[in-house]
Amino acid sequence: MPRSRWLVPALSVLFVPLWASGFIAGKIATGYLEVPAVLLWRFVIALAVMLAAAAVLRPALPVGRAWLHLAVTALLLQVGQFSFVYSGLAAGVPAGLSSLILGMAPLLVGLLTPLLLATRLGVAPVIGLLIGATGVYVVLADDLGGGLGWSVVFPVFGMLALTAGTLYQKRFNDRTPVVTSVVVQMATSLVATLAVFPFLGVAWLPPTLGGWLAVGWLGVINSAGAFVLMFLLLRMRSTVYVSSLLNLVPATTALGAVPVLGEPLTPQALLGLAIALVGMFVGLGRFPGGLGPGPAGTRHRTGAGGDRRPTALTRRA
């Protein structure tokens, strides 16, 4: 289908820099505001954007347990991930190192997918994920010896929350309309943040225009925009496909941090980006010779007459 030939590549090209921008904007925002306030405005702005989209598109509402599944995903993918990531950034963890650690999530997602989603990876995605993880490490390996101490645990927990949230979203929310999914998750995240905010004793409002611009970017571009793209890609492709794209985020963050945060660009970053690109190419099953199944990670069963039919779980994956 001609539309699908350009749609997925176009969404993928947009997704990587939008997702990577969150680390840079998050570093800037935590310089103006404390973490709970950054989360609060991220969710307020993203919810406003998505409610406007829902008013125009009028997507179907969740049914039954779908509400609960969306709430659980919000606590993992939104509140959990970004609470830890922003806490790490505020504690001095560099944006690049945070991206490096979060870049380990694709490997965990890829390795856990066969166990939790009944999707066979084959050889190519496993090799691609390992190559991509190697590229992630090469980009920012020097930062691992930066003496950050205990603060490095924040992005580690953020990575675990991202892994769990991605798998949960794919398993339980794949049939919920994308706009509905993001609206409910942002609303849940905002309620959770508001519930604890009065007890934290932090300032509500960004003190300067720079703070407003940073949280505005996080809410509109990195939250509403990037998560809509993520959920669309999870629906049209597999967790392995999205994981392969996420392999590019650390190198993209390192490149973007040069003009924005003034972080130096090293040959290591360029080498790591090249390795991650190779990992994505291999992981998507486009390596010459066709190692294993394609990007959807299709698992088949043999029906009557020897025909090979996708299972119900495969259709969800």
Is residue 36's pLDDT more than 70? yes
Amino acid in the structure at residue 245: L
Burial class (CB within 10 angstroms; exposed 0-12, middle 13-18, buried 19+) of 147: exposed
Which residue would you say has higher pLDDT here, 195 or 294? 195
CA distance 103 to 108: 10
Flag whether 67 is in a domain: yes
Is residue 308's pLDDT more than 50? no
Flag whether 298 is in a domain: no
Give the tens place of pLDDT for each residue, 117-135. Answer: 666 666 776 787 788 778 7
Is residue 3's pLDDT more than 60? no
CA distance 214 to 223: 12
Segment 75-92 mean pLDDT: 93
According to the model, what pLDDT value does residue 252 have?
86
Whole-number mean pLDDT of the chain? Answer: 80
CA distance 117 to 267: 38
Q: Given pLDDT bands bounded at 50, 70 and 90, which one contains residue 107?
A: confident
Model confidence, pTM: 0.77
Flag whether 162 is in a domain: yes
Burial class (CB within 10 angstroms; exposed 0-12, middle 13-18, buried 19+) of 220: middle
158 is in which domain, residue-wise? 2-287+308-316
Give the tens place of pLDDT for each residue, 135-192. Answer: 777 865 665 555 566 788 899 899 999 999 988 988 888 788 888 998 999 999 999 9
**Domain count of the fold of the chain:** 1
Q: What 3-state DSSP class applies to 300? A: strand
Which residue would you say has higher pLDDT here, 144 or 235? 235
Q: What is the pairing mode between strands 308-310 and 300-302?
A: antiparallel
CA distance 240 to 178: 19
Helices 2-32, 209-217: crossing angle, 10 deg rounding: 150
Flag whether 295 is in a domain: no
Segment 188-203 mean pLDDT: 92
